[in-house]
Structures are given as C-alpha cells and as structure tokens.
Amino acid sequence: GAGVSQSPSNKVTEKGKDVELRCDPISGHTALYWYRQRLGQGLEFLIYFQGNSAPDKSGLPSDRFSAERTGESVSTLTIQRTQQEDSAVYLCASSFGSGGANEQFFGPGTRLTVL
Amino acid sequence: KQEVTQIPAALSVPEGENLVLNCSFTDSAIYNLQWFRQDPGKGLTSLLLIQSSQREQTSGRLNASLDKSSGRSTLYIAASQPGDSATYLCAGGRGSTLGRLYFGRGTQLTVWP
C-alpha cells in the first residue's frame, strides 16, 4: 500500500507569514508523529498523536507551532508568523500501534525555507 | 534529557568492507531501537527495529544489536556496496507509552567502487 505522504514537498515563504504542512499517514496507522530536521542537525521531535488520546505536544518549540489530526487520518502542522529559524525539513511518521513498540515509517518531508 | 551519540560521524570505505556503526544513549532506559537510512534530499527509510524483548535483528547484510544495560547499539553492514552510501540514523524509544524517538545525528557513509 501507499506510504506516508506529505505536501507540499517544498515551501518558500516570507518571514511573518503563516504556513500549513500536511501529512497523510499509512492507512490503519493509529499513531502519527511530527519531527523537524534543521540543516546539519539531528531530528527533533515536535508532536505525537495516538488515537483519541491527548497529543504529546512537549516538543513544540513555541506557541507559534500547532498541529491537528482528524481522527486517525490526515494531520496538519501550522506555523504562524514564521521566522528564519523555522527553516528546516519537516518530517511526518506513522506507526501501526501505540507507543515505542512499533516501527515508525517516515514520509519524504516538506522542506520549508523562510526568507 | 536523552542524548544520542553516533560514532563515527563520517566513514568512507572501499566496496566489500564489513562495517560497524555505533550508537549510544545517555539514558540506558531504552525500550526499543530503530535504525534508518537517509538518502540526500529524501525522507528516512526504516532498516531494522529491535523491540523491547529482543537483543538483535537481522535483515540481509544488516545486523543490529542493542545492549540495554549500557545503552549502546551497533549496526553491522557486511560486504558493503556503493548503494549503501547514505546517512545512517539510530533512534530509541524510552517506553511503551511514549511514542517519540530520540535521534542521533547520523553516520554519513560513503562506499566507493
């Protein structure tokens, strides 16, 4: 079946604008994760959704970042009033079950450039 | 805070060599561990998952082991090929109820013909 998909693949925006990134997980996967990867850095956890439980937002760097998920399907990550330090590749992953016991599968990422 | 270190940061070898990539965690309470490869400009491809009850996993020329007592993992690549050239990332989960993975910065591998 299809893997994790993300859109857009690339996004260039001006400082101060809002952006919305989309993730479509693998069908049937109850868990969904957002990470970001800045140039030359490791992956940073942002947020984790598991079924109907409250999301783990502990990795969101500021209140300009928010994410939503509709049921067990699509998720959107919104960054308001973008700053240049938000430039990164934003990666989405999904897994079949809850918690860390299940393999995470990643999408191709959205490369965000804030001018 | 969980810190993940991968050694070496970069490795360049001729085709055919057997390789060992290392990963260590400051907090040894690792529940499970996943190894990924990342090709330039691409997302992550899952290679191996070692679950909580396991100590190692094998897939083709790849073998990964996890020593929970020391918080260390090793990825062994046998008979390396140019197609293995990529960045290899290790990531650990801390518990069955916590979904996030803690990532290292990766080992950039180049295998030349």
- Tokens for B3? 């810190």
End-to-end Cα spacing for chain B: 41
Rounded Cα gap, residues A98 and B32, in angstroms? 13
A34 touches chain B (CB under 8 A): no
Q: Do B44 and A106 touch (CB under 8 A)?
A: yes
Query: Does the CB of B81 have a partner CB in chain A at under 8 Å?
Result: no
Mean pLDDT of B18-33: 88
What does the pLDDT look like over A1-39, one tens digit per residue? 589 999 999 999 999 999 999 999 999 899 999 999 998
- Please list, in sequence order, all residues whose beta carbon lies within 8 angstroms of the beta carbon of residue A115, skipping any fewer than 6 positions away: A12, A13, A14, A15, A84
Nearest CA in chain A to B40: A108
Q: How does pLDDT run across A63-115, given as a tens digit for each residue?
A: 999 999 988 889 999 999 999 999 999 999 999 876 556 889 999 999 999 99
Confidence (pLDDT) at A101: 62
Mutating which of A104, A105, A110, A113 best tests the B interface, going by the most B Cβ atoms within 10 A?
Answer: A104
Look at residue B99 and tell me whether its pLDDT is greater than 80: no
pLDDT digits (tens, 9 = 90+) for B43-59: 899 999 998 788 999 99
A-B interface: how many C-beta pairs under 8 angstroms? 74
Looking at residue B12, its pLDDT comes to 97
Residue A54 has what DSSP assignment? P
The Cα–Cα gap between A29 and A69 comes to 13
Task: Please say if the pLDDT value at position B1 is more than 80.
Answer: no
